[in-house]
Amino acid sequence: MKSYINEFLGMEKPTDYYSGLLSDIEKLNKEHHFITTLNKDISYEKDGRLPFTVKANICVKGFETTAGSKMLRGYLPPFNATVVDKINASGRFSFLGETNMDEFGFGTFGLNTEVPARNAFDNDYVAGGSSSGAAVATAMLKYHVAIAESTGGSIATPAALNGVVGFTPTYGAVSRYGLIDYANSLDKIGVMARCAEDAKVAFDTIRGRDRYDTTCSVETIGNKKRKKLFVIKELMEKAEEPVKSAFERLLDRLGGNYEISEIDSKIMDKAIAPYYIIAMAEASTNLAKYDGYKYGFQNEDTNRKYNDFFTDARINFGAEAKRRIILGTFIRSESVKDKYYSKATQVRGMIIREMRSILEEGFIISPALPIATPKIENASKLTPTQNYAMDIFTVPPNLGGFPHITFPYEYHDGLPLGAQLVTGHANDYALFDFVSEWEELFEYRFRHNLGEI
């Protein structure tokens, strides 16, 4: 598939693309709400590079970075995240803006924020979360790449729902310095693009060790070819019929090039509970610093009792953030820590060992979500437990820090469906090759029914 990056670099007059870019984005943004902070100084004459965006929990010096929360409204970072410095230094890209997201990354459908992003294909439908704006921006902007972040499926889900490629790297392959944390042992900065080749270019630009992040330790990334595709029976049983049927058609098309096997799993379908226990415990720790004194909402009236001051500051958290703070604090408490948190880490280890064994033989392939894209009004009625269950396919690889990629393969009622491919640690490049092969063999082309800029 032709690279959009190469197409942009080969344009005779890139100024034509930039000429109406900002006005077109502002017009689309009124309907889809995918940009939270726009760099209005960008221009071809000044920058002359391909536009890139970053998720609103990645720090960009001098630009408001809120992580989708009122708690951080008005925060202007005094420094760049390492990934921003790297992509700026490459000479290929220019910063366009920050993209909408669920508050602190807490969400599956992109609805847990002040003004939710809306699907690029139909704004009555969800954009997915938590990297909702990144996916919509990638779908809307022809020449663009997005830097996003995933904890339990925050790249895979919105990429699938907006028909773009979403790549989540091996944990530790990309620096997290400058990321506003959700859950430290799970967070990974990745990329979204229109095609696998562009996602690979963006990943190559931002990956590598960083002295500011000791967890960023994966330096060598391999490309071990796999000819086996494994489908986890217990996970597929969770999918609804339209998704199952479409996924079976995908497997039929891949059958001539890959050996496909349905296998049983002892533990992977149990991943939701340990994931949310660990994620909430870590989230409550990370959010504890927002007390209104040094971090978070600043109240000028400091002549009050601490509890009153603290409460006024933390009331700025949204409902889902408050839920996770309360549950996470309970999970970490001395009386129940062994009952919940310790057991969750044990189950996590079991999932990692099982997946590692499977991935030594081939890829794991699945739908990205168990349902087709829901309307905003329907998704907003789901209970928290129903929302969490939507991560059944994306949580296992995120728990284990395994690299995975989501790619569009079919349309259902005019909206894209995405599949997820998982491989072993530090075998990230094999994912790009697989999706590039899919794009070429089946002549997949990005299709947008609302126009693009």
Point out the residues that are catalytic: 55, 130, 154
Rounded to 5°, the CA angle 159-134-203 comes to 80
The burial class, CB within 10 Å (0-12 / 13-18 / 19+), for 449 is exposed
* Phi, psi (deg, nearest 5) at residue 213: -135, 105
CA distance 149 to 293: 28
Question: DSSP characters for 187-215?
Answer: -EEEEEESSHHHHHHHHHHHBS-BTTBTT
CA distance 408 to 237: 21
CB 199 within 8 A of CB 436: no
CA distance 149 to 71: 20
Place of tokens 């001395």: 334
Give the CA distances from residue 232 to residues 15, 262, 269, in Å, rounded to whole numbers and listed in that order.
49, 6, 9
CA distance 226 to 390: 28
Residue 112 identity: N
